[in-house]
Amino acid sequence: MDLGAFDLNTLDALRALLEEGNLTHAGAKVGLAQPAMSQVLGRYRRHFDDELLVRVGREYELTPLARDLLPHVQEALRLMRRALGADEGFDPATSDRLFTVTASDYVMTVLLEPLRRRVRQHAPSVRLEFVDLAEDLVNSPRALLRHDLLVGPLGYGFAGEHRFLFHDRLVCLVDRDNPWLSEDRLDLDALREMSHVVTVFPGSSQTPADRVLAQRGIVRRVALQAQGFLLLPFAVTGTEAVAIVPERLARRFLPSDRLLLVEPAFGFVDMLEAAWWHPSRATDPGHRWLVGLLDDVATELAGDDPTAAHREVATGMPAITDPTVLAPPPAP
């Protein structure tokens, strides 16, 4: 077998192609123009006698062989760098590495400040990039291969390994003058009849709010949809609509004299947010360091848990504040 065409550079380009599923994005990742990336893809297509990337509509998808190949390519590169002395481990005090986290805007409001504070303290040159949730985040390892971490709720089909981060719960947010309010409360009939402003996420057809309302036979009358949660408080201000949002997010808007947090008539819904990553990152010392920082953040957030009292009332059990003892709930 002639390995002359398969040096470290072309193997790294192949890794980028398989992670990104896109010639342009992969080329930007490794610093190669699209014609050069096309040549690399052509070499490996001939070598494996497989298309590796196939067009489906406007997008490209990995072939079954390519999906199987990706973790082997990543591991081969890691071993090659170690053998050549290019993999020198990770020193947070001197590293300028960029870590990427894909998460909802709501999760960013919870994690960004405490995580950046710890990064600045221990690794002043390390950079963090928070990016929007990917289209293929559910039941697919692709997003986990493109990013260091994905943060999302347990029980929604995310792939990979995970670590629990924090609790939250769903509450209702309305304008203080909303006519559906009765003694500052909304009953289930009101939730059934009034307009809703809702969030939608790529790759997922159902949110936690959709689930709990569907269990109570309520089909939401959607007046407005938004990508993410942050627009919803603004969308209910001055209207008769309701937004069902995580409490940690709602409380950031309560200094506004226009909005009111309403206890949900559908009861206590415990949301467990976790960090997810691809198993191939388990041997990466930088990744282990980042997850260790998140463990510290989780401990801090447990000490400021707005759901603890409600969870104790709902379950009859004291709230658990140690994230290491929490197990994921069964998939619904």
| Interval 96-149: pLDDT, tens | 888 889 898 999 999 999 999 999 999 999 999 888 876 666 656 666 777 889
Look at residue 323 and tell me if it is in a domain.
no
Q: Are residues 180 and 161 in the same domain?
A: no
Q: Which range of residues forms the domain containing residue 42?
A: 8-83
Ranking 143-147, 171-175, 195-199, 200-204 by mean pLDDT, the lowest is 200-204
pLDDT number for residue 273: 93
Q: What is the pLDDT of residue 82?
A: 65
Query: Do 144 and 66 share a structural domain?
Result: no
The answer to whether 276 touches 318, Cβ cutoff 8 Å, is: no
Contact (CB, 8 A) for 291 and 163: yes
Coil, helix or strand at residue 56? strand
Q: How distant, in Å, are the alpha carbons of 102, 118, 153, 154, 158 from that of 331?
A: 22, 33, 11, 8, 11
Query: Does residue 256 share a domain with residue 192?
Result: yes
Q: Is residue 196 part of a domain?
A: yes
Distance from C-alpha of 226 to C-alpha of 97, rounded to nearest angstrom: 33
> Which residues lie across from 134 on neighbouring strands?
none
Measured torsion, CA atoms of residues 261, 263, 267, 269, in degrees rounded to the nearest 10: 30
Average pLDDT over residues 81-106: 80
**By mean pLDDT, which of 24-33, 182-191, 282-291, 303-312 is the weakest?**
303-312
Secondary structure of residue 250 in the 3-state scheme: helix
pLDDT of residue 304: 80
Residue reference for tokens 């400040």: 113
Long-range CB pairs of 2-10 (<8 Å, 24+ gap) are 5/43, 5/47, 6/43, 6/47, 8/77, 8/80, 8/81, 8/84, 10/40, 10/43, 10/44
Q: Which of 296, 321, 326 is nearest to 111 (CA)?
A: 296
- Residue 107 resides in a domain: yes
Residue 221 lies in a domain: yes
Give the three-state DSSP class for 268: coil
* 284 shares a domain with 135: yes
Q: What is the DSSP letter of 58?
A: T
Mean pLDDT of 293-307: 88
Average pLDDT, the chain: 83
For 90, counting Cβ atoms within 10 Å of its Cβ (0-12 exposed, 13-18 middle, 19+ buried), the class is middle
Residue position matching structure tokens 């909304």: 186
The answer to whether residue 209 sits within a structural domain is yes
192 and 136 in a common domain: no
Report the candidate in 250, 199, 259 with the shortest Cα–Cα distance to residue 229: 199
Q: Are residues 171 and 204 in the same domain?
A: yes
- The reply to whether 263 and 287 lie within a common domain is no
In this structure, are 121 and 201 located in the same domain? Answer: no
Give the count of domains, the chain. Answer: 3
Is 12 within the bounds of a domain?
Answer: yes
241 within a domain of the structure (yes/no): yes
177 with 254, same domain?
A: yes
